[in-house]
Chain A
Amino acid sequence: MRGIIGVGGHVPHHRLDRSEVAAFFGKGGGRGQRAVASYDEDTTTMGAAAARRALASAPGVSPASLWFSTSTPAYLEKTNATTIHASLRLGPSVDALDFGGALRSGAGALRTALTAGGPTLVVAADQRDGLATSSDEVAGGDGAAAILVGDAADGPVIAEYLGCGIATDEFLERWRVPGAARSRSWEERFGEVTYGPLMTDAWEAALAATGLGVDDIDRLAVAGTHARAVSRNARRLGVADDRRIDDLSGTVGNLGTAHPLAVLTAALETASPGETIALMTLADGVEVMVLRTTDAIADFAPARSIAEQIATGGSISYAQFLSWRGLVAVEPPNRPLPNRPSAAASHRRDDWKFGFVGSRDRSTGMIHLPPARVSEKGGAVDDMEPVPMAETPGTVVSFTIDKLVYSPSPPVVFAVVDFDGGGRAPLELADCGPDEVEIGLRVEPTFRRLFTADEIHNYFWKVQPVRSSE
């Protein structure tokens, strides 16, 4: 039996209320909210966050491959999956591949993993942009999802893969040239009409491949950026509205490449055993994957569910959103830009920089962040063991708000953090307003992009407040 072993989603903390757009411009906007990546997040860091949760949901399972899909990669030519790979501290024999560019690549990577061999962590992330007042601006969202695929021998399969249906076609419905700030699309009716028969073809092919009838499908998720094709055409498939899975459009927005994976993740996080789920993706053709949840899903515990993340978000202003997206240029601090990090120095410390691995002195037990060769106490030399800290929460023991220092989004909220079980580090706080920080605040590590200098993204760890909807 092959299928899904673990899932994890990442919904950025910040939410834009769509009504703010019309309040500002007198047009645009809509109802509900969209998720907004913080200034220190990109598709790589969001993918890393989702991937950590997917692995945490499947304790003891080690992927043999990591595949990363996005239409908004942090780098071209350089593989972004290796950054996620390093943040997860996966071994060198685990491959890391980017499936880039097209919105289809997320669903395609997932289906390829489901039909291939070996435990594979499929990660997809996107940051969806549009010009101010556009429908893309508000319909889109930022976020990531990760799905760990494997065989029963790799770990408990929570959703068995039953089969798929595919309908490929070449037509120009939505496109974006490299470097462009926005996507373009043909008139709406063309897409709606063109997707219609493709959806039917793929749907019938999936039912035929799995030997199922329409009534056997307990739940249907439809993902795609063409809103009318998704909402109207899908009604013709014969699945009642009450069996449709929430596509997160009201709370998170459309996550592009990551959207089908995120919708499936959210569905599996609340699913019961024996549910047959169809996931249809519209992107330059249509594909349908069919899965059935197993008894193992009754014991499945998501690391931090998408529903939980939706419930604990914080709002940002439209002005902040526009400045983070570079659509409004805001006066920066009059300070020199930071230096680009050294590739050689970074590579020597991959474990620390990307994996947040410190060292523990074997003789005294003292934890050193960053890792050290000589112990601070006792002076032992080269007698340290690595100590991974990425999953260790901590407590703020002192803090400050720095309005003078360079930051892509001042001010810097900064804290001295003592980690549970030992270890201290002075770190920036992410997703934390100046009014939120206090001595005693509980925090947890989060992988972020500190800044970009000379076209080099400087990734490292911050801490974020531990948030709970309880």
Chain B
Amino acid sequence: MGSHGIKDQVAIIGMGCTPFTEHWDKSLDDLIIDAAHATYASAGIAQEQVDAFWFGTSQSAASGLAMGGPLKIHGKPVTRVENYCTTGSEAMRNAAYAVASGAYDVVMALGAEKVKDGGYQGLNAFPIPTDGTQRTLTAAGMFSLILPAYAEKFGVDEDEIRYAVAKIAEKNHFNGARNPLAQFRRETSAEQICQMAAVAGRLSVFDCAGVADGAAAVIMCRAEDAHKYTDDALYVKALSFVAGTGAGSLDPEYDYTTLPECKWAADDAYAQAGVTSPRDEIAVAEVHDCFTPTELVLMEDLGFSDPGQAWQDVLDGAFALDGRLPVNSDGGLKAFGHPVGASGLRMLYEIWLQLRGEAPEERRIADHGRKLGLVHNLGGYPGEMVSFVGIYGTKLG
């Protein structure tokens, strides 16, 4: 028994990502086709060379037919994956395991979401028949519970915490402004955000992820085969995943200042990858900044800040492009936008660009000699969530 990981067994040989935006002129099929063919081009292979496909979408379609149909994939397996906002990461994780198992030589994972055809702002869940007693809050409302709890636990003035999380939005907008694929490409200041009307707790709409259509994909093969396709592969160092039990909603010991599922996933990923000091070994991290308080507490849960110190590290610029550990250098969910099924693969796309030196110069991270990139992706709410952590590197060993 144990979580052993597949360190250095699987190589990423190509990636593609569409712009994330309100694609009024593109269908789900268009987004799938655009992302898939960008990824074939990146890997330098044809669709026929891919042996199996994983398709992640949360709410835009059902079954593998939704990918196999538009791409005309003949005689191959296409598996539809759904796991809340970690859907894209889950498609990738399961595809990677299929390669590591030896079942297939070359696989593709593609995540796509078409959210702007629904007629309402924000995300809307599928109707599942229930007894009607479920919580009715928005995700923004649920994540807004973090601020007063965090302020109370660490004895920090709530206005200071509110300003600190606005600085997270400011940073991610700064980065998004340097990303041609991002939904929001305008800088904004923490001061401006603090003056906006609150929509959930202390949070304004600028504390929330952008809602966008988009798709992203990855092609992987066994690590020993990578040289057949590229001299510049990225290697999977760790893939971890934790599904919670909803304990935070029923256990009075949970205090809304931490996301335990994320911490557990990170601990497992660090063990798989052999990372002992994430702050000294991770060069760049893409984390699930669905709302600004989420990124704040993630800095502590991922080990980038000490407990109760993340707000101070944020104010000190520790996670800015030129900080000690750049976080969400592509703008994150906040500025890049959040097409649910695509977001996990979009995060990996940024690691792919940054670690291989392909990120545009205006947002390229400095070389501190660290060789690993981290993707953190979650779905659900504080106290009841699923969480993914992936670690990737450019070198074997």
Seen from chain A, the residues whose Cβ lies within 8 Å of a Cβ on chain B are: 334-336, 338-342, 344-346, 348-349, 352-353, 366-370, 372, 376-377, 397-407, 412, 414, 416, 418, 422-426, 428, 439, 450, 458-460
> Top 5 closest A-B pairs, CB basis?
A341-B132, A402-B141, A342-B129, A400-B201, A458-B132
Q: Quick one: CB contact mask for B241-252 with A, threshold 8 Å, 1 for yes?
A: 000010101111
Docked complex Cα distance between A369 and B256 (Å): 18
> What residue of chain A has the Cβ atom nearest to residue B132's Cβ?
A341
> What residue of chain A has the Cβ atom nearest to residue B141's Cβ?
A402
Q: Does chain A have a CB within 8 A of B49?
A: no
Residues of A near B120 (CB, < 8 A) are 334-336
Residues of A near B137 (CB, < 8 A) are 400, 402, 405, 412, 414, 426
Docked complex Cα distance between A346 and B129 (Å): 10
Whether B252 lies near A398 (C-beta < 8 A) is no
Q: Which of B145-153, B213-221, B261-269, B370-378 contacts A (4 or more CB under 8 A)?
A: B145-153
Docked complex Cα distance between A348 and B132 (Å): 12
Residues of A near B192 (CB, < 8 A) are none
- A376, A439, A450: the one contacting B132 at CB < 8 Å is A450
Whether B200 lies near A345 (C-beta < 8 A) is no
Residues of A near B245 (CB, < 8 A) are 376
**Given contacts A398-B149, A412-B141, A426-B249, A403 and B200 within 8 Å (CB-CB):** yes
Give chain B nearest CB distance to A380 CB in angstroms. Answer: 14
- A404, A407, A424: the one contacting B122 at CB < 8 Å is A404
> What residue of chain B has the Cβ atom nearest to residue A424's Cβ?
B252
Q: Does chain A have a CB within 8 A of B277?
A: no
A-B contact pairs, 9 of them (CB 8 A): A334-B121, A342-B129, A352-B133, A353-B131, A353-B133, A397-B256, A403-B200, A405-B138, A426-B135
**Given contacts A405-B138, A422-B252, A425-B250, A399 and B129 within 8 Å (CB-CB):** no
- A334, A341, A405: the one contacting B141 at CB < 8 Å is A405
Residues of A near B148 (CB, < 8 A) are 398-399, 439
Residue of B137, B140, B249, B252 ringed by the most chain A CB atoms within 10 A: B252
Give chain A nearest CB distance to B338 CB in angstroms. Answer: 15
Residues of A near B145 (CB, < 8 A) are 398-400, 416
- Which bucket holds chain B's interface residue count? 35 or more
Residues of A near B124 (CB, < 8 A) are 335-336
Docked complex Cα distance between A423 and B152 (Å): 21
Q: Does chain A have a CB within 8 A of B144?
A: yes
> What residue of chain B has the Cβ atom nearest to residue A402's Cβ?
B141
Give chain B nearest CB distance to A442 CB in angstroms. Answer: 16
Q: Within B87-129, which residues are at the interface with A (CB < 8 Å)?
A: 120-122, 124, 127-129
Docked complex Cα distance between A342 and B144 (Å): 30
Docked complex Cα distance between A340 and B128 (Å): 10
Q: Does chain A have a CB within 8 A of B276?
A: no
Residues of A near B199 (CB, < 8 A) are 402-404
- B121, B130, B138, B249: the one contacting A425 at CB < 8 Å is B249
Docked complex Cα distance between A414 and B140 (Å): 12
Residues of A near B254 (CB, < 8 A) are 424
Q: Within B2-61, which residues are at the interface with A (CB < 8 Å)?
A: none
- A344, A376, A402, A459: the one contacting B138 at CB < 8 Å is A402
**Given contacts A334-B120, A460-B132, A400 and B250 within 8 Å (CB-CB):** no
> What residue of chain A has the Cβ atom nearest to residue B257's Cβ?
A398
Whether A400 lies near B136 (C-beta < 8 A) is no
Q: Does chain A have a CB within 8 A of B198?
A: yes
Whether B252 lies near A397 (C-beta < 8 A) is yes
Residues of A near B249 (CB, < 8 A) are 416, 424-426
Whether B250 lies near A424 (C-beta < 8 A) is yes
> What residue of chain B has the Cβ atom nearest to residue A416's Cβ?
B145
Residues of B near A376 (CB, < 8 A) are 245, 247, 250-251
> What residue of chain B has the Cβ atom nearest to residue A458's Cβ?
B132
Whether A339 lies near B127 (C-beta < 8 A) is yes
> What residue of chain B has the Cβ atom nearest to residue A457's Cβ?
B132
Residues of B near A353 (CB, < 8 A) are 131-133
Whether B130 lies near A341 (C-beta < 8 A) is yes
> What residue of chain B has the Cβ atom nearest to residue A352's Cβ?
B133
> What residue of chain B has the Cβ atom nearest to residue A334's Cβ?
B120
**Given contacts A404-B122, A404-B200, A424-B251, A345 and B130 within 8 Å (CB-CB):** yes
Q: Within B190-213, which residues are at the interface with A (CB < 8 Å)?
A: 198-201
Residues of A near B131 (CB, < 8 A) are 341-342, 345-346, 348-349, 352-353
Docked complex Cα distance between A335 and B251 (Å): 31
Give chain A nearest CB distance to B211 CB in angstroms. Answer: 12
Residues of A near B132 (CB, < 8 A) are 340-342, 345-346, 353, 450, 458-460
Residues of B near A422 (CB, < 8 A) are 252
Residue of A339, A407, A416 ringed by the most chain B CB atoms within 10 A: A416
Docked complex Cα distance between A346 and B122 (Å): 28
Given A342-B129, A407-B136, 19 additional A-B pairs, CB 8 A: A334-B120, A339-B127, A345-B131, A346-B131, A348-B131, A353-B131, A376-B250, A397-B255, A398-B148, A399-B148, A402-B138, A402-B199, A404-B138, A405-B138, A412-B141, A425-B250, A439-B148, A458-B132, A459-B132
Docked complex Cα distance between A337 and B201 (Å): 22
> What residue of chain B has the Cβ atom nearest to residue A406's Cβ?
B136
Docked complex Cα distance between A401 and B250 (Å): 20
Docked complex Cα distance between A412 and B199 (Å): 11
Whether B133 lies near A400 (C-beta < 8 A) is no
Residue of A341, A398, A399 ringed by the most chain B CB atoms within 10 A: A398
Give chain A nearest CB distance to B19 CB in angstroms. Answer: 26
Give chain A nearest CB distance to B140 CB in angstroms. Answer: 6
Residues of B near A349 (CB, < 8 A) are 131, 133
Whether B136 lies near A338 (C-beta < 8 A) is yes
Docked complex Cα distance between A372 and B149 (Å): 27
Whether B136 lies near A405 (C-beta < 8 A) is yes
Residues of B near A372 (CB, < 8 A) are 250
Residues of A near B121 (CB, < 8 A) are 334
Whether A401 lies near B201 (C-beta < 8 A) is yes
Docked complex Cα distance between A367 and B51 (Å): 49
Give chain A nearest CB distance to B204 CB in angstroms. Answer: 10
Residues of B near A424 (CB, < 8 A) are 249-252, 254
Residues of B near A348 (CB, < 8 A) are 131
- B128, B135, B142, B198: the one contacting A401 at CB < 8 Å is B198
> What residue of chain B has the Cβ atom nearest to residue A367's Cβ?
B250
